[in-house]
Copies of this chain bind each other. A is one copy, B any other.
Amino acid sequence: MKVLADLCVIPMGVGVSVSKYVAECEKALAEAGLTHRLHAYGTNIEGEWDEVMAAVKACHERVHAMGAERITTSLKLGTRIDRDQSLQDKIDSVRSKLD
């Protein structure tokens, strides 16, 4: 089962600047070989369900290992069985309606 996801990891109790923790998650996604695109409020991810979920777990483990004692994450998960769709397909589909 393929999933299009959106991940926003928030380390708590480590101050107001959290970009180094988000960067660590980006590295985890890259090392997992997953298609991913950072935006200003999270990261879009595309891949097989189990691989995406393993990467999300790795993000939590790595951010805890960096010293963040508490993490709260928002994750969106989109699956469909009618047809295959990529992250880019979703953006293209909206943009085509804006012309």
A interface list, Cβ under 8 A from B: 1, 4-6, 8, 10, 12-20, 22-23, 26-27, 37-42, 44, 49-50, 53, 56-57, 60-61, 64, 69-82, 87-88, 90-91, 93-98
Question: Would you call B76 and A73 a contact (CB within 8 A)?
Answer: yes
Question: Would you call A19 and B76 a contact (CB within 8 A)?
Answer: no
Tell me the bound Cα distance from A96 to B26 in angstroms.
12
Chain B's nearest CB lies how many Å from the CB of A39? 4
Question: Would you call B64 and A57 a contact (CB within 8 A)?
Answer: no
**Of B4, B57, B75, B77, the contact of A40 (CB 8 Å cutoff):** B4
Question: Would you call B16 and A90 a contact (CB within 8 A)?
Answer: no
